[in-house]
Every structure is written in C-alpha cells, then in structure tokens.
Amino acid sequence: MSDVRVHNFSISLDGFATGAGQSADAPFGHAGERLHEWMFTTRFWHEMGGGREGGTGADHAFAAMHSAGIGAEIMGAGKFGPPGWQDDPDYKGAWGPNPPFHTPVFVLTHRPRPSIEMEGGTTYHFLDASPAEALKKAREAADGKDVRLGGGATMIRDFVAEGLVDHMHLVQVPIVLGRGVRIWDGLEAIEDVYDIEAVSTPSGVTHLTFTAKRR
Ligand SMILES: NC(=O)c1ccc[n+]([C@@H]2O[C@H](COP(=O)([O-])OP(=O)(O)OC[C@H]3O[C@@H](n4cnc5c(N)ncnc54)[C@H](OP(=O)(O)O)[C@@H]3O)[C@@H](O)[C@H]2O)c1
C-alpha cells in the first residue's frame, strides 16, 4: 500500500505550526515568514518558482523529498485559505492560477463546493469526510503513488491520532511563538509509535523525521 507522508512542516520550539491571527495578509499570523526562512535559501524553493539559485546542502536535501513519488495531497481548510474563504464562491486557494501541487488536492472542509481544475495538473476537490474516508479517496486519485498531508497542524494531528501517517518530516525552527496552533496537543507519547531521528543543520533548524514503527 502507498505511504502517507508529511514534508517540510515547520514548527517553533514550542510546537506551533502557525502563529495567532491568520489572515489573507498574514497566512501564518504573528509568526510572519519566520517558520519558513530556512527553506527560502534552498535550491528546492527556487526550483519551485522555476529558478536555479539557492543552496544544495542538507536543508535542500531534506526539502526536496517533498515532491518525489506523490500522487495526491490532502490539506485542511485552514491551509487552503484565510478564515472566511468559504464565504467567497470565487475563491480558488492561496497559490494563484498554477498552484505548486500538480496533482489532485483534497481540501477538508465542513462547507464543501464543486471541484476546481487549475493550471498545471492541480485539481481541488472539497471533502467533508473523516480522515480515513478522505485518505481512501486520495489514495484512489494518487493511483499507486504516495499521499502527502499538507497541513495545517489540526488535520495532521487528526490523521496521526488515527494511526494513518507513515512518515513525517518536521522542521524545528529556533523561535518561540507562544500562540497559534500547536502540532503536539493530544499526541502524548508519540515516541511509542514512531522512530524519531533529529539532524541539525548550519542554518540553525533541526530536521525531525518520524517513521511509523508498525512498518
Ligand atoms: N508550518 C507549516 O509548515 C505549515 C504548513 C501548512 C499550513 N500551515 C499554516 O497552518 C494554518 C492552518 O492550520 P490549522 O491547523 O489552523 O488548520 P487546518 O489543519 O489547515 O484546517 C483545519 C480545518 O479544516 C477543516 N477540517 C479538518 N478536518 C476536517 C474533516 N475531517 N472534515 C471536514 N472538515 C475538516 C475544518 O474547517 P471548517 O470547519 O472551517 O470547514 C478545520 O477547522 C495556516 O496558517 C497555514 O498557513 C503551516
């Protein structure tokens, strides 16, 4: 069976994956861009925009695993857009006409709407479904490839709690946010079900990999 993977999911030292006060102008609330500055310096990031700049060291090597072998993504309503996007019938996500997914993307929302086909192979499907049901649909769409969970923390927590996640790559950034949405709430003793490894890089971040022990 294909794997369910999380990649490049950035958290503060106190475990917040987004700050408080999310809006269209501040997708990560009071965290600003600080959770992802490590990624902006990588070749991976520049290649996503069609460039060739950026470092090819360890941060790049971890980041670049994001796309290989992925056939579909599942994301939460909070990643798809700012609070209230469901009130705008023309809203098409935070990434413009050619989003960087290039696969089917399943958006979990309690207010689903018809699917939207974007440029570059991305189609947004909107689902009001349990994690297991959403994963079944995403696996079918992924056609044998792996399914990536795009976040945010709320949906990743739900999938981990149900034992549906095979591999997670989290990036701990040396800042303390104090407020926002935390990844760890409700995941006490996660170390009992995942092998956890840590690699720190010169940029100051620590890459954490979680590999399900049942594999
Ligand atoms: N640090 C990172 O690397 C990273 C990565 C991705 C995103 N983010 C950030 O994380 C934030 C979003 O995360 P979040 O934790 O607030 O929210 P989220 O996980 O993106 O979405 C949670 C919302 O999705 C909907 N939902 C979740 N499960 C559902 C289900 N089974 N059925 C139907 N609807 C379901 C619900 O919204 P409704 O009730 O409104 O429908 C729920 O409130 C954003 O600020 C984003 O920028 C950070």
Q: What is the pLDDT of residue 215?
A: 60
Return d(Cα 127, Cα 109) in angstroms, integer: 6
- 162 or 51, higher pLDDT: 162
- Which residue's alpha carbon is at the smallest distance from atom 34 of ligand 1? 109
Distance 89 CA to ligand 1 centre (A): 19
Query: Does residue 74 have its Cβ closer than 6 Å to ligand 1?
Result: no
Q: Give the pTM.
A: 0.97
State the sign of the Cα–Cα–Cα–Cα dihedral 105, 107, 108, 112. negative
Query: Does residue 180 have its Cβ closer than 6 Å to ligand 1?
Result: no
Query: For 191-207, how does the pLDDT look when each residue is reduced to its tens digit (9 = 90+)?
Result: 999 999 999 999 999 99
Query: For 98-133, how does the pLDDT look when each residue is reduced to its tens digit (9 = 90+)?
Result: 999 999 999 999 999 999 999 999 999 999 999 999
What is the four-CA torsion angle of 18, 159, 106, 151, rounded to 10 degrees? 20
Cis peptide bond N-terminal to 121, omega within 30 = no
Domains of the chain: 4-212 (3.40.430.10)
Residue 174 has pLDDT above 70, yes or no: yes
Query: For 66-93, how does the pLDDT look when each residue is reduced to its tens digit (9 = 90+)?
Result: 999 999 999 999 999 999 999 999 999 9
Residue 49 has pLDDT above 90, yes or no: no
Q: What is the pLDDT of residue 50?
A: 82
